[in-house]
Amino acid sequence: MHVGYASLFQNPHNALTDREVWQQELRMALLAEPLGFDSVWTVEHHFTDYTMSPDPVQWLTYIAGKTERVKLGTMVIVLPWHDPVRVAEQISVLDHLSDGRMILGLGRGLGRVEYDGFRLDMNEARETFVEYAEMVINGLENGYVEGGATLNQPRRDIRPRPFKSFRGRTYAAAVSPESVEIMANLGIGMLVIPQKPWEVVAKDFELYYQTWDQVNPGVPRPKPLCGGFFFVDENEDRAKTLGNQYVQAYYHTAMRHYEMAAEHFGKAKGYDFYANVGKFIDRHGLDGAAEAFAKLMPIGTPDQVMDQLRYIHGVIDNNGVMVQTSYAGMPWKEAERNLRCFAEHCLPQLKAWDTDPLSEPADLALPTLATTD
């Protein structure tokens, strides 16, 4: 099993300076390689204390220069907020600097504060994501970008030219059945961010694999990756008390950032699932919804966390997991204790699981460019 560490950069209620948060997140991320993790990941968000990670590629480029072995994953790059030409260039640069260590995660985003901040229309998010994803994915395979239904991008080479394929190492976050079908049509793997009961997620994968087999006949189905908020402690009472406290507190930060209590998701095209989340909160209350969210997460003693991970693996057959151990304003000493407890007791067991390895990127054989005077 591939095991990654994910940096989140939360600063709830601006309790610390942003610099303090970044310094501590850097220190935690640089523990990942010596502790034995296989990869380092980060997210993309803007404008609020929810997560202060506006440029995941820049962050991972710095991590690349400080490490030798770990892979470097985006969880995710929110494509509608970017020019796809620049995204393809930035990815190619990072892959060259890291000698092919990048794992590409893509998404469309759902924060109204972010869409409004970038002067973009959420109603166009799904179509924009598909258009841009096709341009980036094809560009990284062909060495150039062109086309797009709305951009009408003239053909331009990506320089530095991609040197390894991103097929097999490109994933996307998808929650709704419509998005699940889109990812299968794009030919990319699934990156699961737990938000709903695992038995519902299992039905999503039935649809994903059905669509995959129709669109990609004869191509092996990619195994998914799975993220999660972890809290591990050898003391069960401590693990359950603090784990539920911090995971539920994280849920509250997400609900504030995404404005789940607002009515705009019911009006925004392609966001029906999140409108239903708002209805769930109306029925169960915010605290009840937070409790339900925490039940999805690996919380407990090392043995209990491993049991939860076995259950998740049995449902989705993932071959990778991304571990978040610092979130919701958790004190840094507690976050490091959480990380080290997982690394000591759970990480060796997970890495010993007999799962398919992540795909190693194949070399690209792009046509030789003509020499210039």
pLDDT tens figures, 270-306:
999 898 888 889 899 999 999 999 999 999 999 999 9
Q: Which residue has the tokens 């994903």?
A: 208
Query: Is position 356 within any domain?
Result: no
Q: What does the alpha-carbon distance between residue 334 and residue 339 come to, in Å, rounded to a whole number?
A: 9
The pLDDT tens digits of the residues spanning 113-156 come to: 999 999 999 999 999 999 999 999 999 999 999 999 999 999 99
Query: Is position 363 within any domain?
Result: no
Residues 6+ apart with CB under 8 A from 12: 49, 249, 253, 328, 329
The stretch 155-160 carries a mean pLDDT of: 97
Instruction: Give the predicted TM-score (pTM) of the model.
Output: 0.96
Query: Is position 298 within any domain?
Result: yes
Query: Is position 367 within any domain?
Result: no
Banded model confidence at residue 373, pLDDT cuts 50, 70, 90: low
Backbone angles phi, psi at 52, to 5 degrees: -105, 65
CB atoms within 10 A of CB 370: 5
Question: How is residue 114 written in tokens?
Answer: 């972010």
The pLDDT tens digits of the residues spanning 213-250 come to: 999 999 999 999 999 999 999 999 999 999 999 999 99
253 pLDDT higher than 80: yes
Query: Of the candidates 10, 22, 173, 145, which has an alpha carbon nearest to the alpha carbon of residue 89?
Result: 145
* Residues 12/329, Cβ–Cβ less than 8 Å: yes
Q: What is the mean pLDDT of the chain?
A: 96
> In the chain, pLDDT over 90 holds for what percent of residues?
91
Q: What does the alpha-carbon distance between residue 355 and residue 348 come to, in Å, rounded to a whole number?
A: 14
Helix (H) or strand (E) holding 41: strand 39-42
- CA distances in angstroms from 222 to 68, 212, 351, listed in the order given: 26, 9, 19
pLDDT at site 263: 87
The stretch 356-363 carries a mean pLDDT of: 93
Q: Which domain holds residue 8?
A: 2-351
Q: What is the CATH number of the domain that holds 110?
A: 3.20.20.30
Q: What does the alpha-carbon distance between residue 150 and residue 134 come to, in Å, rounded to a whole number?
A: 13
- What does the angle CA 98 – CA 43 – CA 356 come to, to the nearest 5 degrees? 60
Q: What does the alpha-carbon distance between residue 4 and residue 19 come to, in Å, rounded to a whole number?
A: 24
Query: Is position 366 within any domain?
Result: no
User: How many domains are there within the chain?
Assistant: 1
The stretch 338-363 carries a mean pLDDT of: 96
pLDDT at site 302: 98
Q: Where would I find the H helices in 187-263?
A: 198-215, 236-258
Q: Which residue has the tokens 């030219």?
A: 161
Query: Of the candidates 83, 31, 140, which has an alpha carbon nearest to the alpha carbon of residue 362?
Result: 140
The stretch 344-367 carries a mean pLDDT of: 95
Query: Is position 361 within any domain?
Result: no
pLDDT at site 152: 96
Query: Of the candidates 299, 297, 305, which has an alpha carbon nearest to the alpha carbon of residue 345?
Result: 305
Query: Is position 234 within any domain?
Result: yes
Query: Is position 11 within any domain?
Result: yes
Question: How is residue 167 written in tokens?
Answer: 């097929």
In the Cβ-directed half-sphere of 30, how many Cα atoms lie within 13 Å?
Answer: 13
3-state secondary structure 85-100: HHHHHHHHHHHHHCCC
